Structure 1
Amino acid sequence: METKTQTIVIGAGPAGLTAAYELAQKTAHSVSVFEASPDIGGIAKTVRHNGNRIDIGGHRFFSKNDSIMQWWNNVMPLQGAPSIDDILLHNNKELVSGGPDPEKTDRVMLLRRRVSRIYYLKKFFDYPVSLKPETLRNMGFSKTMKAGFGYLRACLCKRKENSLEDFYINRFGKPLYKMFFENYTEKVWGVHPSKLGADWGSQRVKGLSLTAIVKDIVTKPFKKRSVDQKEVETSLIEQFIYPKYGPGHLWETVADDVRKKGGEVYTACPVKKINVQGRKVVSVVVEDENGQREAPCDYLLSSMPLKDLIAALSGIDIDGEVKEIAANLPYRDFITVGLLLDKLLIKNKTKLKTWNGLIPDTWIYVQEPDVKVGRLQVFNNWSPYMVNDFKDKVWIGMEYFCNEGDDLWNMQDEAFIAFAVDELAKIGIIDKKDVRDAVRIKVKKAYPSYFGTYYQLDKVTGFLNGIDNLYCIGRNGQHRYNNMDHSMLTAIEAVKHITGESNDKSAIWQVNTEQEYHERKSK
């Protein structure tokens, strides 16, 4: 019998499972995935609680890369004509005309309407900030004038972009930055925007600016709206696809497909040591309920945090500076509180039709400076199948950003939930007596941060690239705050290199560094 190439993948998140799925199609390859946690999906997992489901962080399935959109469709089809005008409102369950009926199948994507707004001064503002009359009324004459002149000044006097603060001021002007970006960014990262690299803005909001928003307003009436929104800045898209039971539903399906094709996916099975001989990884040591065992490999794809990867390497000399840089790479940790409510106090005053007058938002960015909550998700609006009783109950997620070991992280669950409920009541979003159920979920290393030793990351990546059969993929695998589609693309590029379809290993690290790469490559 022909000996198969043994490939090990560390991590069962989007990057790891994409790599495993691609390799499982190749008859000459045998693939094993080792996931440290008991869950599938990484940060894109779906958490179940008393019949309701939580999406950790909110995952819109949208990409400007055709291959990724097709990849998702191959796993969970969205059929029919995907136009907003073709969506039928059926008991608040948005179905696509001509597509599969979610009532009859689980393996299906829904077409969702994206509404994200900012909650500031106990009023709603569009996100990104629009120039609608409502926005100007909510800001008031004085703030509107300051914002206008501030933007003009920013257009005439560009700052050198040494920080994220410079990045935002150049695109929106200082008054708008102060109102809508400064406090929120510090709430998310725990660091003032002046201390964060402009790299973050370059990756996450590349084409977003006040100019882009004005252009979108002017040209929108002349555009045909469809699921294909390549020409639209990602922050301005109006719709996206979404798995019936949340993002974890798709990644659990991918894991099942990998197993069906002969691959192995192990959970609660962390990699404890990576053995290197010469310039190659030869095996990994994993730990499960039966103890530790060694698994040999010809290739290793890693989506584990870089600081943990460096610490796990054995049999290779690692420069002390590389060790120190990796050990001190900064991360931001994450807490979600799921709340089941009879109702929200805030009402739908938009023109968008919703079930029982519920607000239409998927996300709400909380800009109020006197609370620590950063964002709210309304799971009824992501998918009604996320909520056990979507007609009579509202299921929301409160998102907090923290550091492992700080006061928020160390607070007991019951005390934290009471704290969170008090915050929402304080800013007028809920009445505490309407809370029917609650759960708290903590996630370590949710967001790689762009400060500290991040600026010496090239020394770590240079060292790792010297290990011939090691491939770093995904958000934590590259310490890069990628969207889900970009994490998947790093995996796809790695598989191409392993199978000989590409001879450029550097392409793995180029994903989401060149705007041309992911916005135009598919054309």
Structure 2
Amino acid sequence: MKNVVIIGAGPAGLSAADTLLKDAGVRVTIFEETSEIGGISRTVNYNGNRMDIGGHRFFSKSDKVVDFWKELMPVQGAPALDDKLLGREKPLEQGGPDPEKDERVMLVRQRVSRIFYLKKFFDYPISLKFQTFANMGLARTIRAGFGYMASAMHKREEKTLQDFMINRFGKPLYEMFFEDYTEKVWGRNPRDISADWGSQRIKGLSLSKAVMAFLKKTFSGGDADQKKTETSLIEQFLYPKLGPGQLYETLADRVREKGGDIMMQTKVTGIHIENGKVVSVQVEQAGETRTVPCDAVVSSMPIKDLMEIIDADKPQDVAHIAAELPYRDFITVGLLVKKLKLENQTDIKTISNIVPDCWIYMQEREVKVGRLQIFNNWSPYLVKDLQDTVWIGMEYFANEGDELWTMEDQAFIDFAIDELVKVDVINRADVLDSVRVRVKKAYPAYFGVYKDFPKLRAYLDTFSNLYCVGRNGQHRYNNMDHSMMTGFEAADLILKGSTDKSTLWNINTEETYHEQGKKES
């Protein structure tokens, strides 16, 4: 029997466990430090209203991932609650689940996300609508046009994220819609961030592609095959009825049914190495420490933390890189309000006529909030009283220990409410309930010692049976599907007995994934 230890019960760890348990000769134990399944893709339930930490679209260009999601939770075959309330009835598909009766259902949702700037809405990505030019004004529109033409004729060498974005949008649009927001997210100006971030998150996005997508939608009705669409431009996605955590809780149940153990509130505090291999891990649970022998380890814990608990000699430069790896921490304030002051001036019908956005990029310079989630529009089942309340999430980006992070909960909530009042999004008197949630190391960052990360990766690869997966496990700003793919791949490598990790590290860097859909082996 081969014993595999998995650190973390998030998308990557659970996907690895499920794949490994296809082999009857493998015993799997997952150690999860917290009391919740799903990592940063969990769903927070507060007084009957559910909150998606960060907003997670279930979309992938990998057929393997999409099929895996549908296997766990079938796609709706009848109208969701908001469709029924709006009169958008449709016949129940043969054998399809009904969201009103079945708990574990994937809903088909429409993506709407816009930029809030100058107290006006702009499409994201920027469109060629008349309203866009009217909101920008004549002077800004002319500057943007000439700026884009200049960027098309004179390409910058892409050393920084600033170079990356100006090459694709021109300097005026970059300054209007990207620079300040990016600085909110990372606490750094884009000129101080590696261009790698753009390659990871918006590799195929540019003004020209956004314009072509707009024209295609306008004149031909769009393309049903979204594999050919840049991820930032997709218009539909799947979404679990009760938020992303529901899918991972379902997957955790299946792992247990297959014989896997998931030990909650159990922290891995040591990785013991002999002759270049992990031979055991040390875990702590309820104040007691024990040693667990293993034949392989799949780690989704932050690399910075992983390096601290490996009991092997570490070259000084590698230890320094690990200790200084940058991260960005995350704070969400959930607000239950009677209504929003924002008017729905679109042709999209919504319950209580709220704006149709799933999330709004808050580009206003006078506030620190980065994005505004409207959970009513993610899934009507996230909100306890869909007809008479709006459940929103205000997203802030911080560094553990800074002023925002250390502020008392109620003081922070009051600060957040004041920000939305300042930009005319809500009235203070309409706030009915509130909560604050903090997430450490939510975003691996691409500045500082990150430029030397290949040295750290090479060191970790010297441990033949240690496999790093997921967003924090690889210090890579992966989406959920990428993280799940790393779990699948790590499991396959273990089952094959392979110690070559190159395919594992190459996930979300392959051109075929972005342009054609990842080819499955």
TM-score in same-fold range (> 0.5): yes
Cα distance between partner residues in 2 of 1:241 and 1:43: 18
Alignment of 1:44-63 (within 5 A): 44-63=41-60
Alignment of 1:371-382 (within 5 A): 371-382=367-378
Contact (CA 8 Å) 1:94, 1:112: kept in 2 or not? no
Q: Which residue of 2 aligns with 1:322?
A: 318
Cα distance between partner residues in 1 of 2:204 and 2:251: 32
When residues 499 and 180 of structure 1 are mapped into structure 2, their CA distance, relative to the original with a 3 A threshold, is: same
Contact (CA 8 Å) 2:111, 2:358: kept in 1 or not? yes
Deviations 1:373-396 (A, max 9, x none): 000000000011111111110000
Contact (CA 8 Å) 1:95, 1:101: kept in 2 or not? no
Which of 283, 288, 307 is the aligned partner of 1:286? 283
When residues 76 and 95 of structure 1 are mapped into structure 2, their CA distance, relative to the original with a 3 A threshold, is: farther
Q: Which residue of 2 aligns with 1:179?
A: 176
Cα distance between partner residues in 2 of 1:87 and 1:44: 23
CA RMSD of aligned residues (A): 1.8
When residues 92 and 474 of structure 1 are mapped into structure 2, their CA distance, relative to the original with a 3 A threshold, is: farther
**1:39 aligned partner, one-letter code:** E
Q: Which residue of 2 aligns with 1:513?
A: 509
Q: Which residue of 2 aligns with 1:344?
A: 340
Contact (CA 8 Å) 2:76, 2:107: kept in 1 or not? no
Which of 85, 98, 107 is the aligned partner of 1:91? 85
Cα distance between partner residues in 1 of 2:54 and 2:247: 16
Q: Tell me the SS of whatever aligns to 1:380.
A: helix
Deviations 1:326-350 (A, max 9, x none): 0100000000000000000001110
Cα distance between partner residues in 2 of 1:313 and 1:409: 29
Contact (CA 8 Å) 1:365, 1:376: kept in 2 or not? yes
Alignment of 1:438-517 (within 5 A): 438-500=434-496, 504-517=500-513
Which of 129, 133, 150 is the aligned partner of 1:132? 129
**1:234 aligned partner, one-letter code:** T
Contact (CA 8 Å) 1:87, 1:95: kept in 2 or not? no
When residues 509 and 50 of structure 1 are mapped into structure 2, their CA distance, relative to the original with a 3 A threshold, is: same
TM-superposed CA distance for 1:88, in Å, is 8.7
**1:411 aligned partner, one-letter code:** M
Q: Tell me the SS of whatever aligns to 1:286.
A: strand
Cα distance between partner residues in 1 of 2:240 and 2:426: 28
Q: Which residue of 1 aligns with 2:63?
A: 66
Cα distance between partner residues in 1 of 2:486 and 2:414: 41
Cα distance between partner residues in 2 of 1:92 and 1:414: 37
Q: Tell me the SS of whatever aligns to 1:89.
A: helix
Q: Which residue of 2 aligns with 1:112?
A: 109
Deviations 1:137-195 (A, max 9, x none): 00011100000000000000111111000000000000000000000000100000000
Q: Which residue of 2 aligns with 1:150?
A: 147
Which of 369, 392, 395 is the aligned partner of 2:365? 369
When residues 116 and 305 of structure 1 are mapped into structure 2, their CA distance, relative to the original with a 3 A threshold, is: same
When residues 87 and 104 of structure 1 are mapped into structure 2, their CA distance, relative to the original with a 3 A threshold, is: closer
What is the aligned-residue identity percentage?
57
TM-superposed CA distance for 1:22, in Å, is 1.1
TM-superposed CA distance for 1:503, in Å, is 7.1
Cα distance between partner residues in 1 of 2:518 and 2:201: 18
Contact (CA 8 Å) 1:10, 1:33: kept in 2 or not? yes
Q: Which runs of 4+ in 1 moved over 6 A?
A: 93-96
Cα distance between partner residues in 2 of 1:120 and 1:62: 27
Cα distance between partner residues in 2 of 1:111 and 1:214: 25
Q: Which residue of 1 aligns with 2:193?
A: 196
Q: Which residue of 2 aligns with 1:412?
A: 408
Cα distance between partner residues in 1 of 2:86 and 2:197: 36
Cα distance between partner residues in 1 of 2:238 and 2:371: 21
When residues 363 and 473 of structure 1 are mapped into structure 2, their CA distance, relative to the original with a 3 A threshold, is: same
Contact (CA 8 Å) 1:92, 1:384: kept in 2 or not? no
TM-superposed CA distance for 1:522, in Å, is 3.3
Which of 141, 152, 166 is the aligned partner of 1:169? 166
Q: Which residue of 2 aligns with 1:357?
A: 353
User: What TM-score does the superposition give when structure 1 sets the normalisation length?
Assistant: 0.96
Extract unaligned runs of 5+ from structure 2. none
2:264 is aligned with 1:248? no
Q: Which residue of 1 aligns with 2:220?
A: 222
Q: How many residues align?
A: 515
**1:398 aligned partner, one-letter code:** M
Which of 10, 16, 28 is the aligned partner of 1:13? 10
Q: Tell me the SS of whatever aligns to 1:287.
A: strand
Deviations 1:392-449 (A, max 9, x none): 1000000000000000000000000000000000000000000000000000000000
